């Protein structure tokens, strides 16, 4: 190898390390600000519960903001997936502040939504700006989108390994090159440590008791995985159904979250169902120690699908955690496994089914709950992945591999 060629390779390596550090720092800082601000608006809403009645006004503001200034970034996470599959033009930077503002308004007034979508969109928008700065081509731009998703996910949940794998898996593994894998892990840790640097804390969960691996316990785990897959299927279909219904029935987009907000405000404030508003983290934490009513997970699916379908902003993942954890917790009344293990399996398994990412969800389970329940988590995530159907929460996601072949074969037989 000549000196000139060696120097060129060194410059390329340095360039991508530098890009990863920049994306990790800016995305991690954005997530840190987002998490702190989200906690503030959540506490403000809890201390001033009357504000839920203003949810229609908050919805109207979100609708107007996106109708007049955010049409080009309205697709959210799906835009990232589409630009990765068929690169066209750099994602507008305004995606980051718009989704941040939209999510704040959603959570301030009590909409049932998550935070992953916001962090991933901020990360993707920030990362894609480096396309112009470093004059990157389309193949290199695809790497930037991976890095943005990885940084956003890792920083908002405090799970760098899962964040790196999620970015690769959600974009379809077999089309990812080796360089993307290394850089995805690098940027995930850069973003994660940036949040740590800003001293922002994440929610911690625990599974204190893990039973032995037996055929009986394996059978119960398969049941949990299967039911989690069905819950994921219902969640995905619910979100798409409400989105389609609002689009067909209400032609002026800003009115969709306004009208949706009226129904949500009546349900939350009028019928005392505020536990299903916002992220629902306290309910998730409680589900690891106390059984939930059997209908909690169904109501969270309903309200989250309705909230996002109406046009409010936020993510789907934390509500998926809520659905899975409360489902597992409720099943502790009839399945003789530790409640924390059941809640933990549901927590990641429903997420696995809804996003077609069983590997990332298994890794997330290990990062959140430790290695001890790893076998049960892996089985539950895998079963949920196969039992959740071909459509997930992201319409633009390309589903390939074993699951794609399975459902293609089933459809061909009918």
pLDDT for 173: 53
Residue 320 near residue 114 (C-beta atoms within 8 A): yes
The domain boundary, picked from 166, 197, 228, lies at: 197
pLDDT digits (tens, 9 = 90+) for 167-202: 999 987 556 677 889 999 999 999 999 999 999 999
pLDDT score for 175: 64
Same domain membership, residue 19 and residue 94: yes
Residue 400 in this model has a pLDDT that exceeds 80 = no
Summarize pLDDT for 224-238 with one digit per residue, the tens: 999 999 999 999 999
Q: At what angle do helices 116-128 and 138-157 cross, to 10 degrees?
A: 150
Residues 6+ apart with CB under 8 A from 349: 224, 225, 228, 229, 232, 324, 361, 377, 380, 381, 383, 384
Q: What is the pLDDT of residue 404?
A: 54
Query: What distances in angstroms separate CA 368 from CA 168, 344, 364, 374, 394, one per listed residue?
Result: 20, 9, 6, 11, 24
Range of the domain at 102: 3-197
Distance between terminal CA atoms of the chain? 58
Same domain for 334 and 230? yes
Asked if 227 and 344 sit in the same domain, the reply is: yes
Q: Check whether residue 389 and residue 313 sit in a common domain.
A: yes
Domain C-terminal end among 197, 223, 245 = 197
Q: Is residue 254 part of a domain?
A: yes
Q: How far apart are CA 4 and CA 6, in angstroms?
A: 5
pLDDT for res 348: 98
Domain with 333 in it: what CATH number? 1.10.3080.10
Task: Identify whether 118 is part of a domain.
Answer: yes
pLDDT above 60 (res 405) = no
Same-domain check for residues 125 and 269: no
Question: Of the residues 197, 226, 251, which one is the last residue of a structural domain?
Answer: 197
Query: What's residue 390's pLDDT?
Result: 86
For 291-340, what is each residue's pLDDT tens digit?
999 999 999 999 999 999 999 999 999 999 999 999 999 999 999 999 99
- 11 and 146 both lie in a single domain: yes
The answer on pLDDT for 1 being more than 60 is no
Domain count, the chain: 2
Shared domain for 60 and 142, answered yes or no, is yes
Same domain, 239 and 378: yes
48-97, pLDDT tens digit by residue? 999 999 999 999 999 999 999 999 999 999 999 999 988 889 999 999 99
Give a yes or no: residue 8 inside a domain.
yes
Helix (H, G, I), strand (E, B) or coil at 48: coil
Give the pLDDT score at 8: 78
Is residue 183 included in any domain, yes or no? yes
Q: How confident is the model at residue 414, as a pLDDT?
A: 45
Q: Are 152 and 119 in contact (CB under 8 A)?
A: yes
Predicted pLDDT of residue 275: 95
Q: Are residues 58 and 117 in the same domain?
A: yes
3-state secondary structure of 395: coil
275/171 same-domain check: no
Same domain, 403 and 304: yes
Chain segment 332-382, per-residue pLDDT in tens: 999 999 999 999 999 999 999 999 999 999 999 999 999 999 999 999 999
Residues whose CB is less than 8 angstroms from the CB of residue 182 and which lie 6 or more positions away in sequence, other chains included: none
Q: Is the pLDDT of residue 106 over 60?
A: yes
pTM exceeds 0.85, yes or no: yes
pLDDT score, position 9 = 79
For residues 178 and 241, membership in a common domain is answered with: no
Establish if 36 belongs to a structural domain.
Answer: yes
The answer to whether 124 and 145 are in contact (CB under 8 A) is: yes
pLDDT tens column, 11-41: 889 999 999 999 999 999 999 999 999 999 9
Residue 375 lies in a domain: yes
């Amino acid at each position: 190898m000549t000196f000139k060629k060696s120097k060129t390779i060194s410059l390329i390596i340095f360039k991508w390390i530098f890009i990863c550090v920049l994306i990790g720092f800016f995305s991690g800082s954005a997530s840190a600000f987002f998490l702190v601000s989200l906690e503030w608006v959540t506490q403000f809403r809890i201390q001033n519960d009357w504000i839920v009645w203003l949810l229609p006004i908050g919805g109207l503001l979100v609708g107007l903001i996106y109708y007049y200034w955010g049409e080009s970034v309205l697709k959210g996470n799906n835009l990232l997936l589409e630009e990765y599959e068929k690169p066209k033009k750099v994602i507008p930077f305004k995606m980051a502040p718009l989704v941040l503002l939209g999510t704040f308004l959603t959570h301030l007034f009590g909409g049932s939504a998550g935070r992953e979508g916001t962090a991933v969109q901020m990360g993707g928008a920030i990362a894609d700006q480096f396309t112009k700065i470093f004059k990157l081509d389309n193949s290199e731009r695809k790497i930037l989108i991976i890095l943005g998703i990885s940084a956003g996910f890792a920083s908002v949940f405090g799970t760098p390994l899962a964040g790196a794998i999620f970015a690769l898996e959600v974009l379809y593994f077999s089309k990812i090159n080796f360089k993307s894998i290394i850089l995805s892990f690098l940027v995930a840790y850069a973003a994660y440590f940036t949040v740590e640097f800003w001293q922002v804390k994440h929610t911690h969960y625990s599974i204190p008791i893990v039973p032995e691996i037996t055929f009986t316990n394996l059978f119960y785990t398969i049941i949990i995985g299967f039911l989690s897959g069905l819950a994921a299927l219902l969640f995905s279909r619910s979100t798409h159904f409400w989105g389609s219904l609002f689009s067909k029935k209400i032609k002026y987009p800003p009115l969709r979250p306004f009208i949706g907000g009226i129904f949500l405000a009546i349900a939350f404030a009028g019928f005392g169902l505020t536990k299903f508003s916002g992220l629902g983290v306290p309910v998730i934490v409680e589900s690891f120690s106390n059984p939930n009513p059997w209908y909690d997970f169904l109501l969270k699916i309903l309200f989250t699908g309705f909230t996002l379908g109406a046009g409010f902003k936020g993510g789907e993942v934390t509500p998926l955690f809520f659905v899975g954890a409360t489902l597992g917790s409720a099943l502790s009344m009839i399945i003789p496994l530790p409640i924390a293990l059941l809640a933990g399996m549901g927590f990641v398994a429903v997420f696995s089914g809804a996003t077609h990412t069983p590997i990332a969800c298994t890794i997330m389970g290990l990062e959140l709950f430790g290695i001890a329940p790893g076998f049960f988590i892996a089985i539950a995530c895998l079963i949920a992945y196969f039992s959740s159907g071909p459509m997930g929460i992201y319409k633009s996601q390309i589903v390939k591999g074993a699951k794609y072949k399975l459902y293609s074969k089933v459809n061909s037989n009918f």
